[in-house]
Amino acid sequence: MPDLRLSRRRVLALSAVATLLPRSGLGQTSKVARIGLVQSTTGGSAALYGTEQKQAIELAFNEITKARTLGDIALQAFHADDGADRGQTVNIFQRLIRQDKVVAILGPTLSNSAFAADPLAQQAGIPVIASSNTAPNLTKIGDFIFRTSVPEDQVFPTVLAYGVRKHGVKRVALIYGIDDALTRSAHDVQKKAVDALGLESVGIETYQRGDVDFSAQLTKIKAQKPDAIILGALAEEGAAILRQARQLNLDPKTVFIGCNANISAKLFELAGPAADGILVGASWFAGYDTPRSKAFVEAYRKRYGTTPDIYAAQGYDAAYLIAEAIRRAGTATDSRAIRDKLAGITDFEGVLGRFGWSPERDATVTPKVLIGDGQAKVFAAAPAV
């Protein structure tokens, strides 16, 4: 926070100088691009994701200010905590748009809040880049809504195809939580990918929120002898399924393929060695071996003392994207011009890799296939086929 305050004060001081001496030519950074930063820093587990993104975005703004990539335009972040609450997010969007007159918004943290608040930005013609919303159809809200967070349906087919190539998967069983929106939509994506690859589905099992005993479902699946078991489950449930499958002595060659929600330290904590070999897909992981990604991890660690997570990486790229759009537009106030330049970016070199936008304004990031290491308790890049 002290860094932020300092840069804010500097920006204010410089703009004051610029107003006092309007035509002196001394005001190097005379224009301020005001950017709303809506991330939960309170409100349960959403605060974990929100804080990571806020920190990464502030890091990016700091770097951009230092490097003076935007010429005479300075970035000013207006952070507001949405508290993981829909109503609060709507209020914040209103205030940012009407009162603070921001030209762009980064956030909000949860898809739920985004569905309520993004239409306000769309109406006002303010571009929004989300970096942790993964719900389907989010960007259909309108042409001002972008995201760097990659939804399940862009990731899972790649992971499944990897399983087919690497392990010769032909027959699959699926298990998912039937009363949770997240696991249900993960299952829909998984089912579609299974059908698209022409794999045989030998069983679809379900469970309900709060279930801890999966042995009946797994015994049933075991009898079908599938090559792979696909999980539409949260980390806690996924871990229990992995462990109980091992207890029931499922064929150790059976490949487990998880969903986005399984990418969590909790999975290893609860499943232990049973998490060995589980395949998942993600847009990024901390061990991603590119110069840009490594530099980000190092800078983040230096500033905050922790390793950034995937939301931090997506937030960091969102910050650089909006900066790049402002640079190309050459304006600090014309949000429509900034939106058009943002949409025109096709070869952005980010932490997540090289990407642009799909026609629906989702980031076209190449998914990375990761494999669980139960001993080291991390996901690492899966070996090449």
Partner 1 sequence: MILQQLINGLSLGAVYAVFAVGFTLVFGVLNVLNLSQGAVFMWGAYVGLEMVRTLQLPLPAAMTVAVMAAGLLGVVTEWLVFRPLQRRGAHRWMGMVASLAFARILIGAAQEVFGTQVIRYPDATLVDATLVVGEARIQGLQVVALGVALAMVLALGLLLKFTNFGRAIRTVAFSETVARLVGAPVARVRGATFFLSGTLAGGAGVLWSLLFQSVSPFMGDTILLKGLTVLILGGLGNVAGALVGGLLLGLVEVGSVVAVGSGFRDAVGFGLVLLILLTRPTGLFATREAKRA
Closest CB to partner 1 among residues 376, 384: 376
Report the alpha-carbon distance of residue 16 to residue 45 in Å, rounded.
Answer: 40
Residue type, 164: V
**Residues within window 47-86 making contact with partner 1, judged by CB under 8 A:** none
Does residue 138 contact residue 111 with C-beta atoms inside 8 Å? yes
248 near partner 1, rule: CB under 8 A: yes
DSSP 106: E
213 near partner 1, rule: CB under 8 A: yes
Closest CB to partner 1 among residues 184, 328: 184
Q: How far, CA to CA in Å, does 94 sit from each of 33, 88, 121, 131, 342?
A: 18, 10, 8, 20, 22
223 near partner 1, rule: CB under 8 A: yes
Tokens of 378: 């991390």
Closest CB to partner 1 among residues 216, 381: 216
Report the alpha-carbon distance of residue 27 to residue 17 in Å, rounded.
Answer: 7
What's the sign of the alpha-carbon dihedral 1, 263, 149, 81? negative
Q: How far, CA to CA in Å, does 233 sit from each of 172, 177, 248, 262, 297?
A: 16, 6, 19, 7, 29
270 near partner 1, rule: CB under 8 A: yes
CB of 273 to partner 1, least distance (A): 9
| Residue located via tokens 């904590």 | 269
CB of 256 to partner 1, least distance (A): 17
Q: Which of 78, 162, 207, 285 binds partner 1 (CB under 8 A)?
A: 207
Q: Which of 178, 337, 343, 378 binds partner 1 (CB under 8 A)?
A: 178
Q: With CB under 8 A, what is the number of residues at the site for partner 1?
A: 26
Question: What length does the chain have?
Answer: 385
268 near partner 1, rule: CB under 8 A: no
Which span sits near partner 1 by CB under 8 A: 86-94, 134-142, 246-254, 307-315?
246-254
Q: Which of 2, 198, 210, 359 binds partner 1 (CB under 8 A)?
A: 210
- What is the SS3 assignment for 90? helix
Does residue 281 contact residue 369 with C-beta atoms inside 8 Å? yes
212 near partner 1, rule: CB under 8 A: yes
User: Where does this chain bind partner 1 (CB under 8 A)?
Assistant: 44, 178, 205-208, 210-213, 215-217, 219-220, 222-223, 236, 240, 243, 247-249, 266, 270, 272
